[in-house]
């Protein structure tokens, strides 16, 4: 039990905190709350020092956010115990007693104990420590010692070195959050455009001699009055949000997790609309504030950098309106943009056309920020501005950077009102990791990267195609509009295509280029859907897709847009197998569009001829070959490429009559995936059994080709990826061959053992994120059962939230209903599964049977 005096301090502390929070509830002024919480902690610590005194001559100081007087409800109380010299045993005991009492008070305390010299040494070695000590605020104790520390820190502070260190620290922090303020679960303290960026501006401004208060920074000329107002509004918004997060969760929670967003939206009073959830409106407010902070962080950091390293010097005239100062673009007259708003676009065009330029000077950025208000309907109708904007899009390189900079300065959303509607628009589809506008800009950046010869090794086919395009800028326009109609309901591709056509008409884009842009926006999902959901070994699939595309230019540009679109959705959406499927569809469609139309029998004859020649050289006899091939039908040869047929024949030639299962594996491509062959007597639960094994070994099936021979054996082929991306597939071959064969030797699978089998292991943070998103923004499972093109089989399409054991569960349901699987394409986009199965079975011959299967699947997939 606490001693009475300590209990009194604790009671008073909590009473003051509760009173401050109650006042906040009535009038949510974050600056007042943070001050009151800091003041209550100050008083408690001073009273505690009377009960638990520190060693003689010591100083107690507040550091970090507490030192700034910004104590949030769940934040740590960071304190520094500053000593003149190392403490003796008695002094050490006093410090220990004081620190223990901090926890007895119920304070979330983080403390450090250092001598003056230790503080100075650590500040020299670590800019984080230096920053914390620079913000130190004396609470009690030796004032002279504190004064000495402050004076020596100021004397040793090198503004240029401090700036470079803090900028590098910021860049590392931003990289940790994918360099975007537009993540779907941002951190309101550490993400780009969040509170930490504001702290950074105050730190470097103070070190450079501009002061650490916004008014002082404004008087120095680094920001204008309008920017000061915008900064303060954004800061107030972030402070309130962080307070609400701490109060809602009862801890120092700074991430806007999916499961917290609806509750926060209710606290703010947001109401859902026809097409938008309340939480989406809340997050759009967040992105507005983050956008403002990101804008002004760029400008202020650039202004301070120029002051420290490249103050204004001789200007080299570029034309009558622009000049170059220290390698950066600037205005020759401060009022140039006010006199001629068309210079807004000319500024961006100059940066594109002069590759040696290191962007724009801070003064020009500030002028552009203020000039954004001139972009109105008259500006948008001006033919000069339309020509300039189109020229920006048509530059061979640099369009991505120009559009991102224009977006950051609020120029792009004002010029394209349709784009403004997608700024900060969230996508709760379980695979997009960014807002619509951020995804669009990342897509355009990837296209720019493909056009850069320095990155041709990253995207070999894409770089080759890009280099051959006569009008690559068509892709930039299509990318800008491909998702621009999201959030309006209905088919966003068709709506976006119409908006793109209107843009092309108003900007005098030629008829051919306009038609191509319209096609790309309308069809931007078609290539990925065919590649990842249909049977690419079926000539009819390839012919139908080629007919839909029409010509090679459309195919090339559609491939480029699709590849960049998938890569830009999320850091984890793309994998080499998806890339291989896109490449395969492109190459096969290109052959058809080139005039070749081989029929199925010609394809089979060619594959059999090549496979026979290859395997004969490997020692396979004609008798062995005929024994296997006589048990196979034409479908097998259509669904497997020549190299796969040869591999199967080589592995099975001498083991056609073995009673034990034959399992063989090999690496696909350059260690891109593992291909697994299974040859064993068929049974209805075989696919489910194989799924159970792969699930247990954290191998994710990407594609399954299921074939039953005429004598009742299963000849199945799988492409699998390991959930741990860094694994070497050649090290798995022996294990998979041995263990899967042993697994399949069991005559029956115990259903309970299958249900209890270890499930696919994913990184814990990703699993929690997926569960939160799926629970708060559930994806209603969708099932489509349609007859195949030849009437021999059925196509089952399933869209649902991904989950551990999903494929195994689906396989069990199909087996239980007597459904035979011919092929499966497993398509996972982030946490969204879009799987396609080619199936047959007597149950499917009648409508009641099909409805029975659909009900069973829907019941199993229900969230």
- pLDDT tops 90 at residue 484: yes
| CB distance 256 to 186 below 8 Å | yes
Predicted pLDDT at 202: 94
In whole numbers, what is the pLDDT of the chain averaged over residues?
A: 89
Q: Which of these, 759, 756, 743, 651, lies nearest to 696 by C-alpha position?
A: 759
Average pLDDT over residues 60-77: 94
Half-sphere exposure of 579 (CA within 13 A, CB side): 16
Half-sphere exposure of 260 (CA within 13 A, CB side): 20
pLDDT band per the 50, 70, 90 thresholds, residue 685: confident
Residue 705's DSSP bridge partners are: 717, 823
Predicted pLDDT at 596: 78
Average pLDDT over residues 739-757: 63
- pLDDT tops 60 at residue 750: no
Predicted pLDDT at 748: 44
Average pLDDT over residues 645-673: 89
User: Where is 704: in which H helix or E strand?
Assistant: strand 699-705
* CA–CA distances in Å: residue 590 to residues 182, 285, 542, 549, 551: 37, 46, 10, 10, 9
pLDDT band per the 50, 70, 90 thresholds, residue 789: low
Read off the tokens for 240. 């309130």
Read off the tokens for 86. 């190392």
CB atoms within 10 A of CB 10: 19
- pLDDT tops 50 at residue 366: yes
Say if 4-157 and 173-311 have the same CATH topology.
no
- pLDDT tops 90 at residue 72: yes
Residue-wise pLDDT tens digits, 428-483 = 665 677 899 999 999 999 999 998 888 777 788 888 999 899 999 999 999 999 99
Predicted pLDDT at 43: 96
Average pLDDT over residues 54-68: 94
Q: Which of these, 358, 372, 433, lies nearest to 180 by C-alpha position?
A: 433
- pLDDT tops 80 at residue 2: no
Residue-wise pLDDT tens digits, 210-255 = 988 999 999 998 999 999 999 999 999 999 999 999 999 999 999 9
CATH of 173-311, one of 3.30.70.1520, 1.10.357.10, 2.60.40.1120, 1.20.120.330: 1.20.120.330
- pLDDT tops 80 at residue 764: no
Of 23-32, 377-386, 651-660, the poorest mean pLDDT is in: 651-660
- pLDDT tops 70 at residue 564: yes
- Rounded to 10°, the helix 383-394/399-408 angle is 130
pLDDT band per the 50, 70, 90 thresholds, residue 836: confident
Of 109-123, 308-322, 335-349, the poorest mean pLDDT is in: 308-322
> Residue 509, SS3?
coil
233-247, 590-604, 653-667 — most confident range: 233-247
Predicted pLDDT at 765: 42
Q: CA angle at residue 142 from 137 to 145, to 5 degrees?
A: 75
What share of the chain in percent tops pLDDT 70? 94
Predicted pLDDT at 768: 52
Q: Which of these, 476, 494, 477, lies nearest to 485 by C-alpha position?
A: 494
Read off the tokens for 668. 């696909």
> Residue 291, SS3?
helix
Q: Which of these, 804, 801, 806, lies nearest to 837 by C-alpha position?
A: 806
| CB distance 344 to 391 below 8 Å | no
Q: Give residue for tokens 């509170």.
A: 195
Predicted pLDDT at 773: 64
- pLDDT tops 90 at residue 634: no
* CA–CA distances in Å: residue 179 to residues 101, 175, 193, 361: 41, 5, 10, 22
Average pLDDT over residues 304-319: 88
Q: Which of these, 485, 675, 493, lies nearest to 576 by C-alpha position?
A: 675
- pLDDT tops 50 at residue 762: no
Q: Which of these, 811, 812, 815, 820, lies nearest to 845 by C-alpha position?
A: 820
Q: How far apart are CA 54 and CA 60, in angstroms?
A: 8
pLDDT band per the 50, 70, 90 thresholds, residue 777: low
Q: Give residue for tokens 């930490």.
A: 196
* CA–CA distances in Å: residue 35 to residues 58, 67, 209, 487, 777: 25, 11, 25, 40, 37
For the chain, counts of helices (H) and of strands (E): 40, 15
Q: Which residue has the higher pLDDT, 374 or 575?
A: 374
| CB distance 485 to 496 below 8 Å | yes
Read off the tokens for 697. 């070994």
The domain 661-861: what is its CATH number? 3.30.70.260
Predicted pLDDT at 821: 85
Average pLDDT over residues 54-65: 94
Q: Please list the alpha-helical segments (H only) found in 177-224.
A: 195-207, 214-219
Q: How far apart are CA 818 and CA 843, in angstroms?
A: 7
pLDDT band per the 50, 70, 90 thresholds, residue 807: confident
104-108, 192-196, 600-604 — most confident range: 192-196
Domain 313-415 in CATH 1.10.110.30? The answer is: yes
Q: Give residue for tokens 């099936």.
A: 701
> Residue 369, SS3?
helix
> Residue 723, SS3?
coil
Task: Give Dmax over CA atoms of the chain in angstroms.
Answer: 99
Average pLDDT over residues 332-339: 93
Q: Give residue for tokens 């109609």.
A: 485
- Segments making up each domain of the chain, as ranges: 4-157, 173-311, 313-415, 436-588, 598-657, 661-861
Predicted pLDDT at 553: 96
Q: How far apart are CA 142 and CA 145, in angstroms?
A: 5
* CA–CA distances in Å: residue 737 to residues 209, 640, 661, 678: 68, 21, 10, 9
- pLDDT tops 50 at residue 766: no
The domain 4-157: what is its CATH number? 3.30.460.10
In terms of Cβ atoms closer than 10 Å to its own Cβ (0-12, 13-18, 19+), residue 168 is exposed
* CA–CA distances in Å: residue 788 to residues 247, 540, 718, 792, 838: 56, 11, 22, 6, 8
Q: How far apart are CA 676 and CA 665, in angstroms?
A: 4
Predicted pLDDT at 380: 97
């Amino acid at each position: 039990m606490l001693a009475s005096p300590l209990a009194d301090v604790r009671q008073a502390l909590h009473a003051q905190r509760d009173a401050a929070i109650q006042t906040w509830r009535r009038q949510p002024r974050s600056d007042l709350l943070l001050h009151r919480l800091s003041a209550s902690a100050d008083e408690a610590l001073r009273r505690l020092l009377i009960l638990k005194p520190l060693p003689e001559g010591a100083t107690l100081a507040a550091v970090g956010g507490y030192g700034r007087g910004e104590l949030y409800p769940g934040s740590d109380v960071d304190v520094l115990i500053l000593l003149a010299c190392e403490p003796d045993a008695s002094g050490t005991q006093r410090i220990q007693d004081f620190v223990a009492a901090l926890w007895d008070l119920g304070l979330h305390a983080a403390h450090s104990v250092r001598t003056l010299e230790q503080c100075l040494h650590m500040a020299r070695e670590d800019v984080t420590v230096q920053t914390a000590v620079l913000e130190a605020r004396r609470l009690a104790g030796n004032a002279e010692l504190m004064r000495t520390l402050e004076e020596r820190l100021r004397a040793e502070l090198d503004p240029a070195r401090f700036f470079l260190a803090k900028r590098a620290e910021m860049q590392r922090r931003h990289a940790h959050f994918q360099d975007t303020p537009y993540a779907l679960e941002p951190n309101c303290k550490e993400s780009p455009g969040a509170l930490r960026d504001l702290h950074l501006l105050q730190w470097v401004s103070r070190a450079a001699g501009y002061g650490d208060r916004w008014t002082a920074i404004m008087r120095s000329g680094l920001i204008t009055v309008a920017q000061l107002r915008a900064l303060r509004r954004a800061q107030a918004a972030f402070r309130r949000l962080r307070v609400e997060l701490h109060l809602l969760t009862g801890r120092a929670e700074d991430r806007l997790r999916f499961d917290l967003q609806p509750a926060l939206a209710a606290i703010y009073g947001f109401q859902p609309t026809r097409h938008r959830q309340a939480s989406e409106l809340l997050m759009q407010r967040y992105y507005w504030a983050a956008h403002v902070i990101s804008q002004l962080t760029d400008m202020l950091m650039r202004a301070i950098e120029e002051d420290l390293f490249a103050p204004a010097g001789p200007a080299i005239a570029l034309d009558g309106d622009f000049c170059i100062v220290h390698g950066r673009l600037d205005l020759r007259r401060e009022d140039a943009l006010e006199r001629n708003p068309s210079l807004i676009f000319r500024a961006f065009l100059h940066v594109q056309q002069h590759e040696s330029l290191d962007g724009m000077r801070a003064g020009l950025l500030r002028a552009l920020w203020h000039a954004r208000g001139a972009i109105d309907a008259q500006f948008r109708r001006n033919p000069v501005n339309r020509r300039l904007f189109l020229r920006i899009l048509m530059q061979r390189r640099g369009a991505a950077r120009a559009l991102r900079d224009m977006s950051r300065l609020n120029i792009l959303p004002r010029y394209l009102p349709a784009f403004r509607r997608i700024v900060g628009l969230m996508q709760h589809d379980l695979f997009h990791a960014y807002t619509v506008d951020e995804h669009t800009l990342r897509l355009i950046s990837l296209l720019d990267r493909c056009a850069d010869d320095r990155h041709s090794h990253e995207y070999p086919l894409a770089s080759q195609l890009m280099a051959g395009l006569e009008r690559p800028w068509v892709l930039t326009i299509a990318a800008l509009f491909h998702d621009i109609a999201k959030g309006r309901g209905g088919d966003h591709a068709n709506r976006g295509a119409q908006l793109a056509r209107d843009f092309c008409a108003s900007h005098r884009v030629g008829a051919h280029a306009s038609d191509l842009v319209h096609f790309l926006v309308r069809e931007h999902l078609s290539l990925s859907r065919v590649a990842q959901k249909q049977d690419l070994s079926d000539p009819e699939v390839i012919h139908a897709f080629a007919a839909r595309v029409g010509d090679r230019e459309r195919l090339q540009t559609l491939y480029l847009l699709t590849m960049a679109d998938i890569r830009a959705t999320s850091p984890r959406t793309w994998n080499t197998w998806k890339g291989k499927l896109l490449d395969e569809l492109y190459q096969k469609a290109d052959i058809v569009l080139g005039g070749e139309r081989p029929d199925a029998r010609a394809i089979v004859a060619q594959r059999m001829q090549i496979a026979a020649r290859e395997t004969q050289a490997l020692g396979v006899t004609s008798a062995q070959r005929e024994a296997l091939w006589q048990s196979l039908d034409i479908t097998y040869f259509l669904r497997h490429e020549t190299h796969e047929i040869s591999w199967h024949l080589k592995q099975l030639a001498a083991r056609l009559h073995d009673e034990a299962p034959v399992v063989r594996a090999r690496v696909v491509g350059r260690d891109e995936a593992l291909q697994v062959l299974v040859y064993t007597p068929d049974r209805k639960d075989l696919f489910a059994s194989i799924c159970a094994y792969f699930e247990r070994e954290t191998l994710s099936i990407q594609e399954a080709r299921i074939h039953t021979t005429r004598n009742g054996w299963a000849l199945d082929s799988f492409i699998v990826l390991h959930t741990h991306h860094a694994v070497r597939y050649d090290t798995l071959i022996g294990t998979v061959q041995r263990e899967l064969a042993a697994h399949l030797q069991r005559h029956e699978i115990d259903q309970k053992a299958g249900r209890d089998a270890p499930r696919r292991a994913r990184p814990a943070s990703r699993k929690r994120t997926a569960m939160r998103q799926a629970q708060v923004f559930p994806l209603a499972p969708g099932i489509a059962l349609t007859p195949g093109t030849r009437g021999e089989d059925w196509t089952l399409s399933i869209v649902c939230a991904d989950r551990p054991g999903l494929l195994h569960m689906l396989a069990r349901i199909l087996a239980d209903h007597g459904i035979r699987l011919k092929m499966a394409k497993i398509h996972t986009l982030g946490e969204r599964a879009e799987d396609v199965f080619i199936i047959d079975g007597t149950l499917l011959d009648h409508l009641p049977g099909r409805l029975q299967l659909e009900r069973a699947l829907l019941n199993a997939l229900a969230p």
